[in-house]
């Protein structure tokens, strides 16, 4: 494995953690999923085609690993993680509290979405991947990406009691959909 690929893998790790958290909903399980993903990527590095997007390849590995582990654990109970409290020195406690409450609401709303919509929302809205890249990473057509993204955005806006515009996108949404 070349140093360039090794360095790129290291740079992708925070994004993999975020995507893993969106899939599992729990940080410790997300970290385990990242570890499984990296192990599989390293074990099968010969199947990676240089010149293609390493992040898309690894996102696909992660999604497939999550599906495999999710199927294996269907009858288990999910544990809720307890986030550590950081000191609030110098910060407006009211703003911090409101932001944390809103973030918790967003996490719950995201967790309630079907996995296919949640994965597309994370890859497009959080990771900033283009529709084509998401389609490649998830192994689905671009039209399916757009459809799942639209349904996911509408469901998320509805769950968060946000008003929607006539075009079906949440109000306040500034990122265009022509990706």
Quick: pLDDT tens for 138-158. 899 999 999 999 999 999 889
- Please provide residue 170's backbone torsions phi and psi, each rounded to the nearest 5 degrees: -60, 140
User: What mean pLDDT comes out for the span 69-90?
Assistant: 55
Helix (H, G, I), strand (E, B) or coil at 55: helix
Among 41-45, 65-69, 72-76, 99-103, top mean pLDDT goes to 41-45
pLDDT at 48 > cutoff 80: yes
User: What mean pLDDT comes out for the span 19-34?
Assistant: 88
Query: To the nearest 5 percent, what fractions of the chain are helix, strand and coil?
Result: 65, 0, 30
Query: Looking at the DSSP assignment, which residues form a beta bridge with residue 164?
Result: 170
Predicted TM-score (pTM) of this structure:
0.51
Instruction: State how far the Cα of 19 lies from the Cα of 6, in Å rounded to an integer.
Output: 20
Q: Where are the beta strands (DSSP E) in the chain?
A: none
Q: What is the mean pLDDT of the chain?
A: 80
Domains in the chain with CATH codes: 3-72 (1.10.1740.10), 93-159 (1.10.10.10)
pLDDT-derived band of residue 43, with 50, 70 and 90 as boundaries?
very high
Instruction: State how far the Cα of 146 lies from the Cα of 134, in Å rounded to an integer.
Output: 10
């Amino acid at each position: 494995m070349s140093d360039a690929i090794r360095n790129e893998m290291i740079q992708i790790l925070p994004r993999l953690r975020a995507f893993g958290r969106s899939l599992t909903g729990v940080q410790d399980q997300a970290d385990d999923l990242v570890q499984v993903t990296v192990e599989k990527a390293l074990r099968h590095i010969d199947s990676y085609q240089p010149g293609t997007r390493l992040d898309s390849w690894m996102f696909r590995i992660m999604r497939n690993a999550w599906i495999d582990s999710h199927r294996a654990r269907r009858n288990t109970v999910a544990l809720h993680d307890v986030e550590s409290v950081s000191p609030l020195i110098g910060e407006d406690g009211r703003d911090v509290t409101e932001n944390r409450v809103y973030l918790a609401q967003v996490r719950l709303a995201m967790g309630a979405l079907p996995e296919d919509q949640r994965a597309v929302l994370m890859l497009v809205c959080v990771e900033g991947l283009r529709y084509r890249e998401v389609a490649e990473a998830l192994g689905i057509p671009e039209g399916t990406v757009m459809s799942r993204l639209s349904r996911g955005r509408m469901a998320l806006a509805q769950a968060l009691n946000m008003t929607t515009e006539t075009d079906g996108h949440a109000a306040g949404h500034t990122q265009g959909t022509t990706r």
